[in-house]
Amino acid sequence: MTIAGFTPRSMRILAHVHNGCTLRGWDQTIAEVAEAISERTQTVRALVTCRGWADRFRLPPMPLSGRYPLIDTVDDALEVLTA
């Protein structure tokens, strides 16, 4: 471990993240940034969380199905009635 407990590899990844987000903006998901710098999403997520940058990123969209179980049940029942 080196400065602030980060290895040279971790510091390199964080530098790529910071440079990429400085150029393209922070309105990206962690997965998009990880893909852009050819690193694993889990690695980038862990490093930006340790660095305190996780709240700068856009959250991935939440899928609509399964989000509201009661509404899904009612929708399924209505589909049966109208079929």
List pLDDT tens digits, range 63-75. 666 666 777 788 7
Q: What angle do CA 28, 53, 21 make, to 5 degrees?
A: 40
CB 9 within 8 A of CB 46: no
Q: 8 is in which domain, residue-wise?
A: 3-82
What is the number of structural domains in the chain?
Answer: 1
pLDDT tens digits, 5-58:
889 999 999 999 999 999 988 999 999 999 999 999 999 999 999 999 999 998
pTM comes to: 0.68
